[in-house]
Amino acid sequence: MHGEYKMPGGKLVVIDLDVRDGRLADVQLSGDFFLEPDSALHAINAALEGQPEQASETALADAVLDALPPDVMMYGLSPQAIAVAVSRALHREAEA
Amino acid sequence: MMRTDWRDHDWQLIHTIPQSPSLHMALDDVLTHEVGAGRRKPTLRIWEWAAPAVVIGRFQSLRNEVDADAAQRHGIEVVRRVSGGGAMFIEPGNTITYSIYAPQSLVKDLSFQEAYAFFDAWVLEALAELGIKAWYQPLNDITSEGGKIAGAAQVHRGGAVLHHVTMAYDIDATKMLDVLRIGREKLSDKGTVSAAKRVDPLRSQTGLPREAVIERMVATFRRLHGLSDDIVRPDEQARSEELALGKFSSTAWLADVA
């Protein structure tokens, strides 16, 4: 499943994922945003992995926020934007 | 750390013969590190390309961004760079690319948005001298009345910041759209691209050969900030070639975001 979100005033945030047993699996965040240190990408993917399919965008954004290293730098990207992209990936069929 | 200004540094220029795409990726990595470690003075490097390439951003998905079959068919090497941002479609002579390797003190206390504009202020001035009215479009673009000119990306490494920019000189848009997958969400940004056969804001608005545009840009930098001619040191070159053949040619790096 695939979801994209162009954050207003930001960059393109893309999520690819599967759902297994009602939980997010094989989550991959990508896009043309800026994120440092670059290892934070894998920390974000890991934070989303296993989240309930029914989790709210707020809960997903909080999970991402909790996983970020204290010195993280985000430009054109935010936990909220990531949560929107996840939500779009999950509800793509409904949108179309 | 005190904030410094351009003129507080002894800027060096590197502009050498064409290099392979993977060596360019490695040179950016190594030269940023050298400036951060204090072994190299702040440097402006102008890139020359030995081969066509697609350069994807640090966090872009390889399969989402690039049509691998089309890239292979056109003989285009796909590489991943160390900085975020979007994909670049390169054929020798179709773009102007430069890197600035600077101490972080130069942009101390600036917001990201201010830092991007700060590093390219000299380019806006050079473009103005060439008769192009251009301005900074946050977050990371230089645009003009004739369309988007350039995209920038920054990455920070141990005391240094790398700011690199690719400017569209004369791009074959048909081939670019064949190789790059440009998603629905992104199409709004590239609307001018899909309508045109060529994306040539620098060529069409200056009427000058690419080399003359580069010459003018270098002259503007030299006048504003000072600039001495330099070369890549043998140890920097050796380390870069090692990384070009290793990390930057590896599937692990290229497909790190699959």
C-alpha distance from A15 to closest chain B C-alpha (Å):
10
Query: Does A78 contact chain B (CB < 8 Å)?
Result: no
Angle at B51 between CA B61 and CA B185, to 5 degrees: 30
Closest CA to A65 of A47, A38, A85: A47
pLDDT digits (tens, 9 = 90+) for B30-71: 999 999 999 999 999 999 999 999 999 999 999 999 999 999
Query: Does B110 contact chain A (CB < 8 Å)?
Result: no
Contact A75 B112 (CB under 8 A): yes
Query: Does B186 contact chain A (CB < 8 Å)?
Result: yes
Q: Where are the domains of chain A?
A: 7-27+50-91
pLDDT category at A59 given cuts 50, 70, 90 is very high
Above 0.90 for ipTM, yes or no?
Answer: yes
3-state secondary structure of B203: helix
Instruction: Give the separation between CA B205 and CA B201, rounded to whole angstroms.
Output: 6
Structure tokens at B144: 């003009």
Given phi > 0 = left and psi -120 to 50 = alpha, else beta, which region is A50?
A: left
pLDDT digits (tens, 9 = 90+) for B248-257: 999 999 999 9
Q: Where are the domains of chain B?
A: 6-242
Report residues of chain B scoring pLDDT below 50. 184-185, 187-188, 191
Contact A35 B59 (CB under 8 A): yes
* Partner B, chain A 6-25, Cβ-Cβ below 8 Å: 6, 9-12, 14, 16
* Helices and strands, counts by H and E, chain A: 4, 5
Provide CATH code, domain B6-242. 3.30.930.10
**pLDDT over 50 (residue A96):** no
B89, B185, B253: best to mutate for the A interface, most A CBs within 10 A: B185
8 A C-beta contact, residue B166 and residue B81: no
pLDDT digits (tens, 9 = 90+) for B133-150: 999 999 999 999 989 999
8 A C-beta contact, residue B20 and residue B237: no
